[in-house]
């Protein structure tokens, strides 16, 4: 199997400590993980095409998580997404769920909730 065919979990968060902790948690559970400090870095990466699940911060400088989800959907390349946020409201949550976001988890999140959402997303890629 080609490495580019292997589905990865891409973690996009501007907070380095969150990015590292999510990556380490998912790596410890056997997932292949790539991390990015911004939506723009993710879009420029080669991993965009082999991402099976996007774990995405909602509020980031530059392109926000909501803008990234909308961009991917409008480009015909939706990726199963788990949103992590300390700032969310009901309207934003509903709008993102209507765009295909699988889960909307508040920070701090429970590792079991994140794991369940990532597993659901990765099963959709098979």
- 76 Cβ contact list (under 8 Å, min separation 6): none
Q: What is the CATH number of domain 3-123?
A: 3.40.50.2300
d(CA 114, CA 26): 9
Q: Where are the domains of the chain?
A: 3-123
Q: Is 72 exposed, middle or buried (0-12, 13-18, 19+ CB in 10 A)?
A: buried
Question: Nearest to residue 118, comparing CAs of 92, 68, 80, 86?
Answer: 80
Instruction: Report whether pLDDT(38) > 60.
Output: yes
Structure tokens at 97: 């769920």
pLDDT (tens digit per residue) in 83-114: 998 876 788 888 888 888 999 998 889 999 99
Share of the chain above pLDDT 70, in %: 94
d(CA 45, CA 31): 19
**Cα separations (Å) of 39 from 7, 60, 69, 92?**
18, 8, 10, 18
pLDDT (tens digit per residue) in 55-67: 999 999 999 999 9
Q: What is the pTM of this model?
A: 0.91
């Amino acid at each position: 199997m080609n490495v580019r065919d292997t589905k990865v979990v891409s973690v996009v968060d501007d907070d380095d400590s969150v990015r590292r902790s999510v990556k380490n948690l998912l790596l410890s559970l056997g997932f292949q993980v790539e991390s990015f400090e911004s939506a723009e870095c993710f879009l420029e990466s080669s991993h965009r095409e082999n991402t099976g699940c996007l774990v995405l911060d909602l509020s980031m400088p530059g392109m926000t998580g909501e803008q990234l989800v909308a961009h991917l959907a409008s480009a015909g390349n939706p990726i199963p997404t788990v949103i992590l946020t300390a700032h969310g409201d009901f309207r934003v949550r509903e709008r993102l769920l209507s765009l295909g976001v699988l889960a909307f988890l508040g920070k701090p999140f429970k590792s079991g909730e994140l794991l369940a959402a990532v597993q659901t997303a990765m099963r959709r890629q098979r």
